[in-house]
Chain A
Amino acid sequence: MKNTFIGAPMERREDLRFLRGRGEYVDDVAMPGLLYAVILRSSVAHGRLVSIDASAALKVPGVHSVITGADMPGGPPIIPMRLQPLPEFKPFEQPVIAHEKVRYVGEPIAVLLATSAAIGEDALEAIAVEIEDLPPVADWQTAAKNQSVLFEKPGTNRSLVFQARKGEADAAFANAPYVRREYFRTGRHYGLTMEPRGVMATWDDATAKLTIYGAAKVPFFNRRILSAQIGLPVEQIEMIENDVGGGYGARGEFYPEDFLIPFAARHVKRPVKWIEDRRENLMAMNHAREEECDLEVACARDGTILAIRGEVHTDMGAYMRTNGAVGARNVSQFMAGPYRVPHVKIDSSLWMTNKTPVGTYRGPGRFEANFFFERMIDMIAADLGIDRIELRRKNLIKSVEQPYPIAHVQPTDAKDEYDSGEYSETLDRALQEIDWPKLEKLQGKLIDGKYHGLGVVCFIEGGAAGPKESARIEVNKDGTLSVYMGTSSVGQGVETVFAQIAADALEVPIERIHQVYHGSTAYVSDGYGAYHSRSTVMGGSAVLDATNNFMATLRQAAGKRMGCAESNVTLDVDKVNGGGRSMALKEFAGLTAEGAFLNKKHTYSYGAHVAHITVDAKLGRIEIVDYVVVQDVGRAVNPLTVRGQVLGSLVQGLGGAVLEDLKYDENGQFLTGSLADYLLPTATDFPNLRCVVLDDYPSPINPLGAKGAGEGGIIAAGGCMSNAVANALQSLGAEPRQLPLSPTYIWELVQAGRKQAAE
């Protein structure tokens, strides 16, 4: 039979348990003899840790023990970086627990174990901590003065400058007929997951084995970190991936608690569970985004972009965490987005401040770059008197130019290039979907007290990080098949997607793929995880390889047992046929084969966002009338889940564009410690959203032709909304230069515009 599961909008198999409340997230796992961990966190942004006195807490009934850095032989281990692990970053990496200094509000100081979390939380207040205040560094400008440094040894608050280079930008600027320079900034966001983080660890003294529940995203990598920190071989550590309530780049990186809880379990020889509360989550999970950009663009008079040049400053928070450098790197490399820019020179500085450390959040650096550059394109179009759509079309990379080389970032990686696509087609489709010619006349019009505005932007999304991914197929006792994956699930639907790919390749009904197992370290020899929109491309291609190896292994075994040539063996649903004989597949129970996909290149999906909004200038309130995203994903394995990725990430992006901002005061005190302070989109905020998923230009670098597609919705939301606001308020001269587009900020823009007009 010839299947066509790939490309079909198949309902998800995961849903059957989630909809009935039968998912098993880490806090759902019960364990006898459990101790609950609670964590004492610094209330001071920057200070010297003088003393910790837990004696009163230890007297509280139900308290088992208190663990601090002093309990760790050789001092608290350091958490190494996973991505861009440059030697320059070493002095800025985070210890698993504050030892001599505290550097942000929320930094772990002590772990208290008790018979219930409630008792533990009560007892935390009885731990006396003395901290000698040091001058706080609450923004990058203060950091740049280097008067108060977070780390004495390097003696500077700048951990690195990434340099994105292509061509000769300075020379291009020297001869340019037109240059515009602007200053932009984005708010501080984070990949808030609905499930707060959690870790449960058990220690088996007899076998010297650690088992860790709550692993996510990159369990194999995290196991290697823990193995080195805790002094156990990797084989003695098992990471179990339970259901994971959201990832977005933030969940599953190696955090301090990923050492502290396993260490505690081994220390006290009891199972220990820690479940984060929301306040902790807001100040302990990786922050992201807060970037400022001084950007120059040089153009010919006809609107041809000649060069870009500028500086970006990222507020990194207190430590270089596992993937902390990605945003600051990406913003420099992808500033030019999907446009043909021959000369690029961007310096991106990473500044250490007394805030929660930064990591990736969906579309890291790309969301910011898109906002900076797309905002600029609208300003340039107005200056040059060229239609902003025409200006974009003129500069979009054409398919005949592919693969298109992009800026090279030092000091990190090899050269990179875009893979395939005719970028203008997605722009044209988006304009057609929203009926741009009909809406055009509404631009800037005041109707019933609201200004109408249109926004349009194009974007590029990277995916498919290498170097490798693994998959394994095994025959079950009942003759069904199981697929074991080295990638992880963060809720995106990989169980369904991998079943589709395996069933198509093996030409069996999809029900024969009994289960897709993923994440846990016991399933395959090595795995790489779920990040950089890589699971479908890398994992899916590994499944294809595993099915090939599986059929070869099956043919060999069946040929031997049935006495026929291997080449005559075929698989027919639950039977193996060959040489006129037939055996049930279950006779081969346990037969297994692993496969892998190796890849050093990236996929680049792309598309366009178009929005029609209204702005109430008196209230500063934005409403979306219509919003269309068109994205070409190379090949949509499951159009239903791709659509879910695009629309879901779009609403996250709109949150960042309009609502979300993690705030600190000038002392580094955290001001947004609840969901009443950090505003997330709800069902009433952004109702009129649509998307069109295309697969017209498959990726040439993997057998599926698929491109990573989990981030396109979020990347361009800030750029599109800010351009729409500028367009709506053009008569008032309002030009947004920062996000979020909060009611206050819009009101300020309107006031400033009016004042300027009056002068």
Chain B
Amino acid sequence: MTTKFEVNGKPVSVDVEPRLTLADCLRHELRLTGTHIGCEHGVCGACTVLVDGEAVRSCLILAVQAEGTKITTVEGLSNDADLTPLQKSFRKHHALQCGFCTPGFITTAHALLTEEPDCDADRVREVLSGNICRCTGYIGIVDAVLEARASYKK
């Protein structure tokens, strides 16, 4: 099926099997390999992307369901010149080790801070509890997201 949507600001058109997940479409059809697949049953959050600004597990929706949406992946939240304030904060607080879950945390945190730049630590923990990190123990991640709040305040 031909499916059209926007990824990281660019319109794309892909011809995919109806059963292809959005995660596999992004990774293998569009070669955006920053989105990672950790469980394929919606528990680990590694594959989280933004669909029309909302954090969505791309392993739980089909590529064809993305028709007409605007999708942002970790690549779309990054630039060549420098790390973003959120990324800098992750680096400063050692909020990542192996890096595999990191794109999912970046997208989830971005969605949260965009909506709720004044969130408190409990709220950050609540929202991040849908993403699993096996390396850091979450301490650095929570600290990083809390510090990055300032950069999301208008």
How long is the Cα–Cα vector from A20 to B92 in the complex, in angstroms?
A: 15
CB-CB < 8 A to A674: which residues of B?
39, 41, 43
CB-CB < 8 A to A682: which residues of B?
128-132, 138
A244 within 8 A of B: yes
Q: Which of B44, B73, B99, B133 has the most CB of A within 10 A?
A: B99
B136 within 8 A of A: yes
Q: What string of 1s and 0s marks CB contacts (under 8 Å) between A650-680 and chain B?
A: 1110000000000000000000001110001
CB-CB < 8 A to B20: which residues of A?
118
CB-CB < 8 A to A174: which residues of B?
none
Q: Tell me the chain A residues, 163-210 only, with Cβ under 8 Å from chain B.
A: 192-196
Q: Which residue of A lies closest to B101 (CB)?
A: A194
Chain B binding surface, main DSSP class: loop
Q: Tell me the chain A residues, 255-283 only, with Cβ under 8 Å from chain B.
A: 277-278
CB-CB < 8 A to B17: which residues of A?
118
How long is the Cα–Cα vector from A340 to B26 in the complex, in angstroms?
A: 58
A619 within 8 A of B: no
**CB of B21 to closest CB in A, whole Å:** 10
CB-CB < 8 A to B41: which residues of A?
278, 674-676
Given known pairs A21-B75, A245-B36, A683-B129, the reply for A647 and B97 (CB within 8 Å) is no
CB-CB < 8 A to A644: which residues of B?
94, 97, 135-136, 140
How long is the Cα–Cα vector from A278 to B103 in the complex, in angstroms?
A: 18
Q: Contact between B126 and A652 (Cβ–Cβ < 8 Å)? A: no
How long is the Cα–Cα vector from A352 to B19 in the complex, in angstroms?
A: 41
Q: Which of B19, B73, B94, B132 contacts A680 (CB 8 A)?
A: B132
Q: Contact between A21 and B34 (Cβ–Cβ < 8 Å)? A: yes
Chain A binding surface, main DSSP class: loop
Given known pairs A24-B33, A643-B94, the reply for A248 and B83 (CB within 8 Å) is no
Q: Contact between A195 and B137 (Cβ–Cβ < 8 Å)? A: no
A12 within 8 A of B: yes
B125 within 8 A of A: yes
Q: Contact between A248 and B134 (Cβ–Cβ < 8 Å)? A: yes
CB-CB < 8 A to B124: which residues of A?
683
Q: Which residue of B lies closest to A15 (CB)?
A: B91
Q: Which residue of B lies closest to A14 (CB)?
A: B99
Q: Which residue of A lies closest to B17 (CB)?
A: A118
How long is the Cα–Cα vector from A414 to B137 in the complex, in angstroms?
A: 36
Given known pairs A20-B34, A20-B75, the reply for A192 and B83 (CB within 8 Å) is no
B46 within 8 A of A: yes
How long is the Cα–Cα vector from A245 to B102 in the complex, in angstroms?
A: 10
Given known pairs A278-B41, A689-B139, the reply for A118 and B19 (CB within 8 Å) is yes
How long is the Cα–Cα vector from A245 to B134 in the complex, in angstroms?
A: 9
Q: Contact between A246 and B135 (Cβ–Cβ < 8 Å)? A: yes
Q: Which of A20, A118, A643 has the most CB of B within 10 A?
A: A20
**CB of A241 to closest CB in B, whole Å:** 13
Q: Which residue of B lies closest to A195 (CB)?
A: B100
Q: Which of A244, A493, A674, A683 has the most CB of B within 10 A?
A: A683
CB-CB < 8 A to B31: which residues of A?
30
A686 within 8 A of B: yes
Q: Contact between B33 and A20 (Cβ–Cβ < 8 Å)? A: no
B53 within 8 A of A: no
Q: Contact between B97 and A194 (Cβ–Cβ < 8 Å)? A: no
How many residues of chain B get a CB closer than 8 Å to chain A's CBs? 56
B69 within 8 A of A: no
A490 within 8 A of B: yes
B117 within 8 A of A: no
CB-CB < 8 A to B56: which residues of A?
none
B78 within 8 A of A: yes
Q: What string of 1s and 0s marks CB contacts (under 8 Å) between A9-42 and chain B?
A: 0011011111111111101101000000000000
CB-CB < 8 A to B126: which residues of A?
683-684
Q: Contact between A684 and B129 (Cβ–Cβ < 8 Å)? A: yes
Q: Which of A192, A644, A685, A689 has the most CB of B within 10 A?
A: A644
CB-CB < 8 A to A640: which residues of B?
94
Q: Tell me the chain B residues, 138-154 only, with Cβ under 8 Å from chain A.
A: 138-142
B58 within 8 A of A: no
Q: Which residue of A lies closest to B31 (CB)?
A: A30
**CB of A161 to closest CB in B, whole Å:** 33
Q: Contact between A244 and B136 (Cβ–Cβ < 8 Å)? A: no
Q: Which residue of B lies closest to A193 (CB)?
A: B134
Q: Tell me the chain A residues, 494-532 only, with Cβ under 8 Å from chain B.
A: none
Q: Contact between A278 and B40 (Cβ–Cβ < 8 Å)? A: yes
A648 within 8 A of B: yes
Given known pairs A194-B101, A676-B41, A683-B128, the reply for A21 and B96 (CB within 8 Å) is no
Q: Contact between B98 and A194 (Cβ–Cβ < 8 Å)? A: yes
Q: Contact between A11 and B101 (Cβ–Cβ < 8 Å)? A: no
**CB of A704 to closest CB in B, whole Å:** 21
Q: Tell me the chain A residues, 593-651 only, with Cβ under 8 Å from chain B.
A: 640-641, 643-644, 647-651
Q: Contact between A650 and B137 (Cβ–Cβ < 8 Å)? A: yes
Q: Contact between A19 and B91 (Cβ–Cβ < 8 Å)? A: yes
Q: Contact between A194 and B34 (Cβ–Cβ < 8 Å)? A: no
Given known pairs A20-B87, A23-B99, the reply for A680 and B134 (CB within 8 Å) is yes
Q: Contact between B40 and A647 (Cβ–Cβ < 8 Å)? A: no
CB-CB < 8 A to A192: which residues of B?
134
How long is the Cα–Cα vector from A643 to B41 in the complex, in angstroms?
A: 32
Q: Contact between A683 and B39 (Cβ–Cβ < 8 Å)? A: no
Q: Contact between B74 and A21 (Cβ–Cβ < 8 Å)? A: yes
CB-CB < 8 A to A492: which residues of B?
97-98
**CB of B134 to closest CB in A, whole Å:** 5
Q: Contact between B74 and A20 (Cβ–Cβ < 8 Å)? A: yes
How long is the Cα–Cα vector from A685 to B133 in the complex, in angstroms?
A: 12
B55 within 8 A of A: no
Q: What string of 1s and 0s marks CB contacts (under 8 Å) between B27-63 and chain A?
A: 1000111111111110110100000000000000000
CB-CB < 8 A to B73: which residues of A?
21
A368 within 8 A of B: no
CB-CB < 8 A to A23: which residues of B?
34, 99-100
CB-CB < 8 A to B136: which residues of A?
644, 647-648, 651
Q: Contact between B134 and A246 (Cβ–Cβ < 8 Å)? A: yes
CB-CB < 8 A to B40: which residues of A?
277-278
B71 within 8 A of A: no
Q: Contact between A491 and B91 (Cβ–Cβ < 8 Å)? A: no
Given known pairs A30-B31, A676-B43, the reply for A246 and B100 (CB within 8 Å) is yes
How long is the Cα–Cα vector from A523 to B73 in the complex, in angstroms?
A: 34
How long is the Cα–Cα vector from A100 to B36 in the complex, in angstroms?
A: 38
Q: Which residue of A lies closest to B97 (CB)?
A: A491
Q: Contact between B94 and A19 (Cβ–Cβ < 8 Å)? A: no
CB-CB < 8 A to A243: which residues of B?
98-100
CB-CB < 8 A to B99: which residues of A?
14-15, 17-19, 23, 243, 245, 491
A563 within 8 A of B: no
CB-CB < 8 A to B35: which residues of A?
21
Q: What string of 1s and 0s marks CB contacts (under 8 Å) between B68-99 and chain A?
A: 00000111001000010001001110101111
How long is the Cα–Cα vector from A652 to B138 in the complex, in angstroms?
A: 11
Q: Contact between A18 and B102 (Cβ–Cβ < 8 Å)? A: yes
CB-CB < 8 A to A681: which residues of B?
137-138
Q: Which residue of A lies closest to B91 (CB)?
A: A15
| 8 A–B pairs (Cβ distance < 8 Å), ordered by A | A19-B91, A248-B134, A278-B41, A492-B98, A640-B94, A641-B94, A684-B125, A687-B138
A contact residues vs B (CB 8 Å cutoff) = 11-12, 14-25, 27-28, 30, 118, 192-196, 243-248, 277-278, 490-493, 640-641, 643-644, 647-652, 674-676, 680-687, 689, 713
Given contacts A12-B91, A27-B27, A245-B98, 15 further A-B pairs with CB under 8 A are A19-B91, A21-B73, A21-B75, A30-B31, A194-B135, A245-B36, A246-B98, A248-B134, A491-B100, A641-B94, A644-B136, A647-B136, A652-B134, A676-B43, A682-B129
